[in-house]
Structure 1
Amino acid sequence: MHDTILLSKISEELKNICATNKINKVKTFTVIVNHRSHVNENNLYDHLRHIHKNLVGEWTKINVEREDIQDQTAILKSIQGEQGEN
């Protein structure tokens, strides 16, 4: 897969943002990628579920939007979730 590094970057940044904002469970997550990116809702969900199983699960809705941005770049547009004491 061409976007393994991009999946890892998205995963790491999601983890950091959730930790900073004390988000325990991600309910809705929207990310923007390039039109040529192989990242989609299914492979992003599978990757995040494997890496962050307490943060992302069957309760999570992932949206991948495509815009004219640089290759191997992602913009985390929105994250909604449950907050708690981390």
Structure 2
Amino acid sequence: MVFWIKKNERDQLLGKEIKLYAQNEKSDKKTLLSTGKIEVLNSDDPQAPDSDSVLKFNAPLNLMSEGKWKIDSYVDKKRLGTTILTVQ
């Protein structure tokens, strides 16, 4: 997964562990879905304009049931963002 950042955040985030927590629309319970390490894009990755503002992480996603899922991403207990997925 890739995400865009402010350029001044790059050095603070590189090498950090990212944790993904999932919550199904039918539940109030958040569960740890996956973890990954934040890295820079390498030459094998699709390149984006202004790639100095893009970082990546690899984290497997294994959502067990259908429906809408809210995925919250955290680094050092601070939420970086939220993604909504629909699983069919």
Q: Do both proteins adopt the same fold according to a TM-score greater than 0.5, normalized to the shorter chain?
A: no
Bigger RCO of structures 1 and 2 (CA < 8 A, at least 6 apart): 1
Radius of gyration: which is bigger?
2
More strand by share: 2
More helix by share: 1
